[in-house]
Amino acid sequence: MIDLRFYWSLLMRRLPVMLALLIICSAFGVAWAIRAPSTYSAAARLLVEGAQITDNREAAATSDAETLQVIEQQLLTRANMIDVANKLNVFPDSATMDPDMKVAQMMSNTIIRRSAGRDQATLMSVGYTSTNPRLAAAVVNEYTTLILSANTRNRVALAEDRLSFYQQEVDRLSQDLDAQTGKILDFKKSNANALPENLRYRQDRQSLLQERVSRLESDLAALQAQRADMVRIFEQTGSIGINNATSQTPAQQQLATLQAELSAVLAVYSENSPRVTSLRNRIAATERVVQAEGGGAESEESQTGNALLDLNLAQIDSRVQAMTVEKAQADQELDELADSINATAANSIALSALERDQANIQTRYDAAVASLGQARTAERVEASSRGQRITVIEAATVPTVPSGPNRKKLAVMGIGLGLALAGGFFALMELLNTTVRRPAELRSRFDITPLAVIPYIESRQERRRRKSVGMAAILAVLIIIPLGLWALHINYMPLDLLAQKIVSRLGLG
């Protein structure tokens, strides 16, 4: 069971010291509450506005909340804090202050709040607390200027970087496209006769030449049989039985046919076409045969013997020679066509690979050109301040009503601290005192039960001394301690500044 009388006597005995602690802390708290300078808070509200002119790039743009977060981090840099403090002379003793202390003080007095959400406007509140109301408003306005300039600089720089990147990409892809086109042209020049684009013509030409070779072989066989029959008939009968009244030889007829075919081909193909070149070669060979027939006829007519037989045999031999030459040219062209048709498959694969690479480069080039156009539009939008931007809803004004400190709270904190120290002193003294003062302590320590206990009996002189010490302690608490605090406040340091230093050193504020 708790011995209330015993603890009450202990409380009365230690009451002067406890009262001293309570009064000292309460005096500090009240003095701090009274003497603490008034603080003023100024604030400005900013709004992130959406772009007035939008395009596809907005899908990749940073969100409003992220934009404000980046702006906040750029604002609270060490360089900005020191520049603002020096520019506005925020600290009167700036020359003796450490830069780290300046930055710490500026950041502790700066208040930034952001609010954003779905279907809500994105807002930012920038505030500053100072003992000088004009200084607080000036600092907030300087912060606002830095935020607006940083936002403009960031967005313009982003648009310019995007424009520069896509311009470089378009130039690079244009060079790649030109190089790939040059490769395709070189390949087509080196394989002009074996390209897949004129494969149909060469196959048709091959079929035509094969038919012509077959016809030539048949005609040659017929001419050779005709010559042999003519010689055999002449040997048997002495006459050749052929009417020589024809006005035009077969070579001349063939020449006329080739010239008509050349005229028809020139209406479709160019002068450099392989078909036109082949026809011209055949016409030249046929003309030589016609010239030879004319010369041979004249020479045979001047000879003696059977001139008619000699003339017909000469004409047949000339036609055989012309057909043989034409067949040889056709066979050579067929061989060339066969080689080119066989090489077309490999050339088609290689050309398809080159054209596929060209198509891929062309696709990337078109996409880069489209992105470049969007980047140019975005750069113009940002340059004209019609993109996403931060605007000031309400600028900072000089506050007229102090925002702090909470003087009642400071006073109550001082009194609470005094009560806590007094209670802590009582508990600490009780824990440190190990002497035996009650019968219950005898029973608990020595495990004995005393029959009777004789308390300590004070003499008259000891009682008078104890009362004198108590009165002196009470006088010290009531008179000497307040006088000492007053002297400390006047001669050494104001109590509010001293309290602030103590709290700062303890890390409590």
- Give the pLDDT confidence of 5-41 residue by residue, as tens digits: 777 877 787 777 788 788 878 877 777 777 777 888 9
Instruction: State the Cα angle at 135 between 130 and 137, rounded to 5°.
Output: 95
Instruction: Determine what percent of the chain is predicted with pLDDT higher than 70.
Output: 84
Residues 347 and 340: their CA atoms lie apart, in Å, by 10
Look at residue 2 in the predicted model and tell me its pLDDT.
62
Cα 289 from chain centroid (whole Å): 78
The contacts of residue 450 (CB under 8 Å, 6+ apart) are 439, 442, 443
pTM: 0.52
* pLDDT score at 244: 41
State what percent of residues in the chain have pLDDT above 90: 16
Give the span between the Cα atoms of 495 and 25, in whole angstroms: 11
Whether residue 261 is predicted with pLDDT greater than 90 in this model: the reply is: no
Range with top average pLDDT, 41-50, 226-235, 443-452:
41-50
Q: Could you write out the three-class secondary structure of 66-127?
A: HHHHHHHHHHCCHHHHHHHHHHHCCCCCCCCCCHHHHHHHHHHHEEEEEECCCCCCCEEEEE
SS3 string of 305-364? CCHHHHHHHHHHHHHHHHHHHHHHHHHHHHHHHHHHHHHHHHHHHHHHHHHHHHHHHHHH
Task: Tell how many helices (H) and how many strands (E) occur in the chain.
Answer: 14, 4
Angle at 219 between CA 213 and CA 224, to 5 degrees: 125
Residues 43-55, mean pLDDT to the nearest whole number:
73
CA-to-CA dists, residue 387 to 56, 68, 210, angstroms: 13, 15, 73
Residue pair 121/65 in contact (Cβ under 8 Å)? The answer is no
Q: Quick one: CA torsion of 353, 356, 360, 362, rounded to 10 degrees? A: 120
pLDDT of residue 198: 84
- As a whole number of angstroms, the distance between CA 8 and CA 12 comes to 6
206-224 confidence digits (pLDDT tens): 888 888 888 888 888 888 8
The pLDDT score that the predictor gives to residue 3 is 66
Reading the block at residue 81, the tokens are 């804090």
Q: What is the pLDDT of residues 163-221, one digit of tens each?
A: 899 999 999 999 999 999 999 999 888 888 888 888 888 888 888 888 888 888 888 88
For residue 220, count other CB atoms closer than 10 A to its CB. Answer: 16
CA atoms within a 13 Å half-sphere pointing along the CA-CB vector of 349: 4
Question: What confidence tens digit (pLDDT) does each residue in 487-503 have?
Answer: 777 877 776 677 666 66
pLDDT at site 363: 94
d(CA 157, CA 52): 19
Separation between Cα atoms, residue 378 and residue 365, nearest integer Å: 20
As a whole number of angstroms, the distance between CA 265 and CA 205 comes to: 13
List C-alpha distances in Å: 194 to 172, 179, 274, 411.
Answer: 32, 22, 12, 103
pLDDT digits (tens, 9 = 90+) for 84-141: 999 998 888 877 888 898 899 999 999 999 887 777 788 889 999 988 899 999 999 9
- Yes or no: say if 377 and 55 are a contact pair by the CB < 8 Å rule: yes
Q: What 3-state DSSP class applies to 477?
A: helix
Quick one: pLDDT at residue 302?
34
Q: What is the pLDDT of residue 297?
A: 44
Average pLDDT, the chain: 79
